[in-house]
Structure 1
């Protein structure tokens, strides 16, 4: 995952936490829920990117082993 992706996901997560906190403080359940959704989306993106990175690493290791033969 690139640095830009990490920063973007972190910013989205921070924005979500801010919305959740503001919604909780003001009693705005919709805003609080939106914040939780934003955080969930950011965390999901991080997980997908991590899985893609691990799959690419595994592929590269397998390709390297194939070249050794």
Structure 2
């Protein structure tokens, strides 16, 4: 005996694609601007994580300068 599922039941089993992202930036004295962003891609129950960290502004070595 063969049982056929209706089209609505078959489409309900597919996983939606959801992309979640967040980012922040801050200025730290004697270091400069620091920023980070995170993007999470949820596909078919798997969790793929992309994480990046970046800087903006002049490059300074905070170890060579005393704190104010």
Larger radius of gyration: 2
Please report the TM-score for the alignment, with normalisation by the length of structure 1: 0.27
Please report the TM-score for the alignment, with normalisation by the length of structure 2: 0.28
Bigger strand share: 2
